[in-house]
Amino acid sequence: MTTPPEKDEAVTGGEAVVRALASHGVTDAFGIPGTHNLEIYRHLRAYGISHVTPRHEQGAGYAADAYARASGRPGVAVTTTGPALLNIAAAVGQAYSDSVPLLVVSPGMPLRHPRQSTGLLHEMRSQTEALRGVAAFSHRVSSVEEIGSAVARAFTLFRTGRPRPVHIEVPLDLLEAAEPAGPVRRAPLTGPPAPDPAAVGRAAEALRAARRPALVLGGGARAAAAECAALAEELGAPAVTTANGKGVMDERHPLSLGVSLHSPAVREWLVDRDVVLAVGTELAESDLWGPPPALTGTLIRVDVDPAQMYAGLPADVPLVGDARALVEALLAECRGGAGGVPADPAGVRALRAARDDETRTRDARWLPYLRAVRRVLAEDAVLTSDSAQCCYYGALPHLPLGPAGRYLHPTGFGTLGYALPAAIGAKTACPERQVVALSGDGGLQFSVQELGTAVQLRLPLPVVVFDNGGYGEIREEMAARGDAPLAVDLPAVDLPALARAYGGRGAVVRSPEELAAALAHALTVPGPTVLTVPDIPDVPEESPR
């Protein structure tokens, strides 16, 4: 590995980028080489950074996003100028929506490039203005020395605030220019603000006095999973999660309602709680599948982002800071006190049953297949998900998960094509864990070319596809409006054969038993295996819990 240059030694901008990434512990990057970013690629090996080459920059963005979600470390993607950067913009928007630490590095037009268009390759009016619309910030550097500071700024955001995507643009002439890079800049090893003891005291007092408490756990509660479960048990409080919070509390726990905020029965129950503790969630429409309910009790919100205290449902008791530290503090205040109510597992089971009864006809088609998937997978398996009916109606509420596993879903922004490249990113981050992609036939075809990437990596990667002949959700929405379906039915594609054409494997599975056997085998062989489940009838089934 290259020894970092002295602060006064001249290095190119490309080396300065790679040096800055390596100094922050980056070991993997995703991207596609292009004419304008080759000076970055020149130095990756020397600084010990491995590289994965997806077949499209959007795939690079989704892979880096899932790498961050699965590993807990920021994901890094490298693009070239113009169309490549715009290709990754959808993935940046998804990372922003789901609070994912994603760093995108790209070249830009030269430092002194005229405002008037000159027809330079990949020229566009403003890359930074385009990316500011979907990222936390877009930073165009003006010297080689500034590169280290810009990267440190990005990692400071990742560590101390709400993690969101960042774009850094290096003018292409600076990438090749050799200038003193200055000292290595590293983000400070500080975290979010410490809990406010007075606010913690007010929140704990409300929780101790609660007779009908509830917890709502989002993706921001993931690092506090054990503490949240302990607090729920201490209070006798049932816990419901958002899509991004799936598995924060084991969904087989007697107090867990799983991903249920979309359920009318659960929403009615939540409105009736006298104290609701929401940890690491926006309580947004994408979590609730509708407007926020008018809570009648006290709302305590725990979030690293102060702005969340006034968004959606304003907090009655705001707690700003690190979720784990704050929940630990609440647990210490509540433990052994006079508060808490007897746990009611029977009431939780009844509420789960009411939730499932609301959608039994709609969701039943997927349940036996999801039960088969659950039987095969290890507790720490990672599932990646698409914006597909089989995922948001099927797996999110009905495939139980615990804190050891992960379910990566494109919430909020709701992009299609996430599952397959996300599985590649998750498997890159965690090669020792089982990783399975769940998708529909319409969504998979947004990024199906990434089968080639999975073949090249030779890592076991099953892709389970529920094929309903196109865009099933939109087809049903059209029918509900009384419209004749238009532009939603797609010609059949032999997806297993396409996987084989890329060098992978594939099969059509027509029963849950076939799926279980094929999935178990796919987890043992190198490369991707596409397992297509043809359109299946709506047959009432029990929940896989």
State mean pLDDT over 352-372. 93
User: How many Cβ atoms are within 10 Å of 124's Cβ, its own excluded?
Assistant: 16
Q: Which CATH code is given to the segment(s) 197-353?
A: 3.40.50.1220
Residue 480 pLDDT > 50, yes or no?
yes
Residue 245 confidence (pLDDT): 95
pLDDT digits 0-9 by tens, 190-210: 767 777 899 999 999 999 999
Q: Which CATH class is domain 10-180?
A: alpha beta
Residues 6+ apart with CB under 8 A from 33: 41, 53, 80
Please, are residues 203 and 319 in contact by the beta-carbon 8 Å criterion?
Answer: yes
pLDDT for 515 beyond 90: yes
Q: What pLDDT band is residue 160 in, cutting at 50, 70 and 90? A: confident
**Given a cut of 80, is residue 288 above it in pLDDT?**
yes
Percent of the chain scored above 90 by pLDDT? Answer: 81
The 10s digit of each residue's pLDDT in 429-467 is: 999 999 999 999 999 999 999 999 999 999 899 999 999
Tokens of 185: 């800049």
Average pLDDT over the chain reads: 92
Statement: residue 474 has pLDDT above 60: yes
Residue 372 has pLDDT above 80, yes or no: yes
Q: What pLDDT does residue 540 have?
A: 45
* CATH T-level assignment (fold) for domain 359-533: Rossmann fold (3.40.50)
pLDDT, tens digit (0-9, with 9 covering 90-100), for 119-158: 787 788 889 999 999 999 999 999 999 999 999 999 999 9
Q: What pLDDT score was predicted for residue 7? A: 59
Asked if 262 contacts 285 with a C-beta cutoff of 8 angstroms, the reply is no
Q: Tell me if 141 sits within 8 A of 169, measured CB to CB.
A: yes
Mean pLDDT of 263-285: 94
Tokens (6 digits) for 156:
């400071």
Collapsing DSSP states into helix, strand and coil, what is residue 482?
coil
Residue 81 CA to residue 513 CA, distance in Å, equals 48
The pLDDT tens digits for 77-124 are 999 999 999 999 999 999 999 999 999 999 998 888 777 777 787 788
> pLDDT tens digit string along 314-341?
999 999 999 999 999 999 999 877 677 8
Domain ranges of the chain: 10-180, 197-353, 359-533
